[in-house]
Chain A
Amino acid sequence: MMNKGNDIAKELEEIVPGLHLPPTPPFEVPAGYFNQLPEQVLQRIRSLEAETVEEELSALSPLLSAAPRQLPLSAPEGYFDGLSTRIMAGISQEQDTPAPARVVPIRSRRRYRLWAVAASLLALLGLSTLFLLRNNNGAGSFEAQLAGVPDQAILEYLQSHSDAFDREAILANVSGVEDVADELPKISTNLDDLPAEEIQQYLESAEWPN
């Protein structure tokens, strides 16, 4: 096994003082490995250079090369005699049999039903929301509800749910915050680059309409 030189050990001590790494790796080589290696390599070369399967095998394993290359298994007597007839009969039978009706697995129908139920619920929810919004369309009511939402919740929602397109749409549509829209580009053109503290500070310092 190779030992690390003193210089290497000193260098290591200078880099990481007191580490004292073991000088040799914990690997072991099988007994006699290096004695056998040259013969193994030559054997491999001889097998690569062999021209026939037999030469290759005798280079790789004289034991196997000397063994009888006879399969001890046997097929039933006369098996091959009528084989082609039996196979052709099978093919004819398959061709004569009408294709089976398409089987729709129960699971997929169940899944289809689940999707139908989910879609109906979504449609119902959408219609209810629309109905409620139409009935409570007073701007005061919506703004009063919005005022009740804590700034932190709005901030967290915007950070996790909005992208550049949403931000442009929000700034373009929310009335009374045109000055905010003017100020934002001075701070940063991308909200993702802003630290949360900076947004929090801005929200706290700005005057929001009630």
Chain B
Amino acid sequence: MALTQDDRALLALYRLPDTRERGFTAIIQKYQERLYWHIRRLVIDHEDANDVLQNVFIKVWKNLEGFREDAQLFTWLYKIATNECLTFLEQQKRKSSVSLSDIETGLSNKLRADSQFDANKLEWKLQKAILSLPEKQRVVFNLRYYDEMPYEEMSRVLETSEGALKASYHHAVKKIEEFIRNG
């Protein structure tokens, strides 16, 4: 999928030395919220999401020169953000030398620590159910359920076949439904 007209204009601004920072600021402003929520859903805590998001944009700044315009900027940003989240979760795991299930428990604890948390409300039950999924399945579910991302685009973000992503989403939905019914 080719670059949108708007992104092409932003990149043109970025590529001129005089307007480089202005162009990049506009790119941040355009994508910050979508990327923030994508990250926040995976790392749960706002401070962690803020750290990861800033790292994502710093990485983008360093690598934007090499971005090929035959791809969608948004897809590329999502790919960096997803990788950064998975790396962050991996680091958390290594730092605390605990198992993946303990990390999930840690994320559930962060969820419960939210001032709005209400275990009886369906939207919170859903969050707990999502946290019970394996990391990559969680990414697939979030991208489809919340971002309504087409499988074709998701396939480029996660470098996985569309068939595998459909199967992964199907299994994720079934697991979540079971979790909510039994939980």
* B44 contacts across to A, CB distance below 8 A: 73
Interface flags for B36-74 (1: CB within 8 Å of A; 0: not) read 110011001010001001100110010000000000000
Residues B54 and A86 in contact, CB atoms below 8 Å apart: yes
A side interface size, CB within 8 A: 30
Checking B24, B116, B174 against A72 with a beta-carbon cut-off of 8 angstroms, the contacting residue is: B116
Residue from B36, B57, B116 with most neighbouring chain A CB atoms (10 Å): B57
Residues B127 and A91 in contact, CB atoms below 8 Å apart: no
Checking A60, A63, A69 against B181 with a beta-carbon cut-off of 8 angstroms, the contacting residue is: A63
Residues B32 and A84 in contact, CB atoms below 8 Å apart: yes
**Contact residues of B: prevailing secondary structure:** helix
In the A-B complex, the 5 residue pairs with the smallest Cβ-Cβ separation, listed nearest first, are A84-B28, A53-B148, A72-B123, A60-B173, A61-B177
- Besides A61-B174, A72-B114, 4 other CB < 8 A contacts? A63-B181, A75-B36, A83-B32, A84-B25
Residues B32 and A80 in contact, CB atoms below 8 Å apart: yes
Q: B10 interface residue, CB < 8 Å from A? A: no
* B29 contacts across to A, CB distance below 8 A: 84
Q: A153 interface residue, CB < 8 Å from B? A: no
On whether A87 and B28 interact (CB within 8 A), knowing A47-B170, A61-B177, A75-B40, the answer reads: yes
6 A-B pairs within 8 Å (CB atoms) are namely: A63-B177, A64-B180, A79-B46, A84-B29, A87-B58, A88-B21
Q: A76 interface residue, CB < 8 Å from B? A: yes
Q: B33 interface residue, CB < 8 Å from A? A: yes
User: Total A-B residue pairs with C-beta atoms closer than 8 Å?
Assistant: 87
Chain A nearest CB from B123 CB (Å) reads 4
Residues B126 and A67 in contact, CB atoms below 8 Å apart: yes
* A44 contacts across to B, CB distance below 8 A: 170
On whether A91 and B33 interact (CB within 8 A), knowing A63-B177, A67-B126, the answer reads: no
- Contact size range, B: 35 or more
Checking B58, B174, B176 against A91 with a beta-carbon cut-off of 8 angstroms, the contacting residue is: B58
Chain A nearest CB from B14 CB (Å) reads 12
User: What residue in chain A is nearest B22 (Cβ atoms)?
Assistant: A88
Residues A71 and B146 in contact, CB atoms below 8 Å apart: yes
User: What residue in chain B is nearest A74 (Cβ atoms)?
Assistant: B116
Interface flags for B122-140 (1: CB within 8 Å of A; 0: not) read 1110110000000000000
User: What residue in chain B is nearest A62 (Cβ atoms)?
Assistant: B177
* A141 contacts across to B, CB distance below 8 A: none
Residues A61 and B173 in contact, CB atoms below 8 Å apart: yes
Q: B121 interface residue, CB < 8 Å from A? A: yes
* A61 contacts across to B, CB distance below 8 A: 173-174, 176-177
Chain B nearest CB from A69 CB (Å) reads 7
Checking B21, B46, B116 against A75 with a beta-carbon cut-off of 8 angstroms, the contacting residue is: B46
Chain A nearest CB from B140 CB (Å) reads 13
Residues A71 and B25 in contact, CB atoms below 8 Å apart: no
Chain A nearest CB from B106 CB (Å) reads 16
